[in-house]
């Protein structure tokens, strides 16, 4: 429930998450102590940096943390001085990451950065504002500042994130959002996951961590892959069942050891069944057609031959065959999204001549066509030709180009390799 190991090896968020655990531990310590020492703030800053560096979506998780802390401040549980010091750490770590990421402007124009600035300004004028007004001002100010900074810097790298949220709530559709929302890991969280949480008794919470848990819950419900943050936090919060401060009144009537044993026994009923189900899954990863493809590329193409195709396949071509590629799975770049859209036009219903012309502009020598992308349909409206029908209604109703290429690639392309899954099309320059 924490990773996507059932579909793919651990990805960027899996490498970031341990640093978030350390960061939340340090933050919890800072919230508890009356006087903050510099060492704690430096450690918090370092953990922030290491959390953000591997994963481009870390900013959204930290946005929920800032929102939770601001809510704790509004409720009066921490003072403005302590919150200002924490905000300072976040600002410094954000600037350091901006530099280490070679000037990634998406960080400076993010909701996270806008939220930090808006909260800082509100703290300077907190005596003039009612608490409810502060909360509303933070929300409106964050969205407004994010919009203005994106406009000022001309940054559209994270524009698809807002569109994904629009797709979740109002059914908005375009090529980029469908590429995300048609994938299972970006769908709403399954009903079964929530039932598992309840059955193994992982629901409890206090102040900041309760708010953080709520934020992780919202993220996980909207985007299933973010269960990575929700599930471990539920486990951490479950440890509060042993807290004398919270449940001391209960310990007076029941021995703590008896209570813990009873809880573990109840958890074990569902937990052991879940473990047994997982242990019964046997198998190994094998992709012989892709191995054949990569070996053919290494033997039969030049070192400087440029390839285009599906994003996951291009990652393998770059890593294993060491050939240049025009697109890859990093989608948080407006220019790369535009290139990927051109590459995926092979699965549209556009004329072959038009697609070839655009691929030549990108400098592509070989195109790797995957029949599975042409015909597979995870759910209604999610095959590649159907996704293109939303983007290119003018050609709707025509036979998909990928189907035509599978039958006969001439005269615009030349088939130079073919197996059960892949077809390599050479693109003549004339």
CA distances from 241 to 209, 233, 264, 297 (A): 14, 14, 11, 58
Q: What percent of the chain has pLDDT above 90?
A: 33
Rounded CA separation 246/248 (Å): 6
User: Which pLDDT value is given to residue 200?
Assistant: 40
Residue 230 CA to residue 219 CA, distance in Å, equals 8
Among residues 132, 160, 36, the alpha carbon closest in space to that of 75 is found at 132
- pLDDT at residue 84, as a whole number: 93
Q: In the predicted model, is pLDDT for residue 216 greater than 70?
A: yes
pLDDT in tens, 356-394: 999 999 999 999 999 888 877 667 777 888 888 888 888
The band of 135, judged by pLDDT with boundaries at 50, 70 and 90, is: low
Q: Of 221-230, 240-249, 342-351, 378-387, which has the strongest mean pLDDT?
A: 342-351
Q: State which H helix or E strand residue 370 sits in.
A: strand 366-370
Q: For residue range 234-248, what is the model confidence (pLDDT) as tens digits?
A: 888 877 777 776 666
Identify which of 12-16, 128-132, 399-403 has the greatest average pLDDT: 399-403
Q: Which residues of 200-229 are buried (b: 16+ CB within 10 A; e: fewer)?
A: bbbebbeebbebbbebbbebbbbbbbbbbb
**Host H or E run for residue 38:** helix 38-52
| Residue range 260-273: mean pLDDT, rounded | 80
According to CATH, what is the number of the domain 288-426?
Answer: 3.40.50
58: phi then psi, degrees, rounded to nearest 5: -60, -30
What are the tens digits of pLDDT across the range 197-208?
444 433 373 678
Peptide bond connecting 411 to the previous residue in cis, omega within 30 degrees of 0: yes
Question: Boundaries of CATH 3.40.50 in the chain?
Answer: 288-426
Instruction: Say how far apart CA 346 and CA 26 lie, in whole Å.
Output: 50
Instruction: Report strand pairing: 307-309 vs 366-370.
Output: parallel
- Cα 129 to Cα 185: distance, rounded to the nearest angstrom: 41
Flag whether pLDDT at 430 surpasses 90: no
Q: What is the mean pLDDT of residues 203-221?
A: 77
Region 105-120: mean pLDDT is: 88
> DSSP string of 260-284?
HHHHHHHHHHHHHHHHHHHHT----
Side-chain-side CA neighbours of residue 153 (13 Å): 17
pLDDT, residue 253, reads 65
Of 2-6, 339-343, 368-372, the range with the lowest mean pLDDT is 2-6
5: DSSP letter: T
Q: Which positions ≥6 away from 315 have C-beta within 8 Å?
A: 328, 329
As a whole number, the mean pLDDT across the chain is 82
pLDDT value at position 199? Answer: 47
């Amino acid at each position: 429930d924490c990773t996507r190991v059932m579909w793919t090896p651990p990805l960027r968020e899996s490498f970031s998450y341990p640093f978030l655990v350390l960061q939340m531990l340090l933050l919890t310590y800072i919230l508890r102590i009356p006087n903050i020492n510099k060492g704690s703030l430096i450690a918090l800053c370092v953990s922030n940096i290491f959390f953000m560096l591997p994963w481009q979506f870390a900013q959204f998780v930290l946005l929920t943390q800032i929102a939770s802390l601001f809510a704790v401040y509004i409720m009066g549980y921490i003072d403005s001085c302590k919150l200002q010091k924490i905000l300072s750490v976040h600002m410094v770590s954000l600037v350091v990451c901006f530099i280490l990421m070679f000037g990634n402007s998406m960080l400076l124009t993010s909701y996270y950065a806008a939220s930090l600035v808006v909260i800082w300004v509100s703290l300077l004028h907190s005596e003039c504002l009612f608490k409810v007004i502060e909360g509303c001002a933070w929300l409106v100010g964050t969205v407004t500042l994010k919009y203005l900074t994106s406009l000022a810097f001309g940054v559209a790298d994270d524009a698809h994130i807002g569109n994904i949220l629009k797709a979740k709530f109002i059914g908005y559709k375009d090529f980029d959002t469908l590429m995300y929302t048609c994938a299972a890991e970006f769908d709403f969280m399954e009903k079964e996951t929530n039932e598992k949480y309840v059955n193994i008794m992982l629901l409890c919470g206090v102040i900041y961590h309760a708010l953080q848990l709520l934020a992780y819950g919202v993220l996980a419900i909207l985007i299933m892959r973010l269960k990575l943050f929700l599930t471990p936090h539920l486990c951490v919060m479950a440890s509060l069942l042993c807290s004398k401060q919270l449940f001391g009144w209960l310990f007076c009537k029941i021995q703590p050891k008896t209570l813990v044993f009873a809880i573990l026994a109840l958890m074990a009923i569902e937990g052991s069944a879940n473990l047994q189900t997982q242990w019964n899954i046997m198998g190994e990863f094998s992709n012989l057609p892709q191995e054949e493809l990569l070996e053919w590329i290494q033997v039969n193409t030049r070192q400087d031959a440029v390839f285009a195709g599906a994003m996951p396949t291009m990652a393998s071509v770059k890593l294993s065959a060491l050939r240049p590629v025009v697109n890859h799975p990093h989608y948080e770049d407006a220019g790369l999204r535009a290139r990927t859209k051109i590459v995926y036009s092979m699965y549209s219903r556009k004329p072959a001549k038009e697609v070839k012309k655009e691929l030549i502009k990108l400098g592509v020598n070989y195109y790797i066509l995957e029949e599975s992308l042409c015909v597979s349909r995870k759910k209604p409206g999610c095959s590649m030709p159907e996704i293109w029908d939303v983007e290119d209604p003018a050609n709707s109703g025509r036979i998909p180009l990928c189907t035509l290429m599978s039958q006969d690639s001439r005269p615009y392309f030349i088939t130079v390799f073919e197996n059960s899954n892949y077809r390599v099309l050479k693109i003549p320059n004339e």
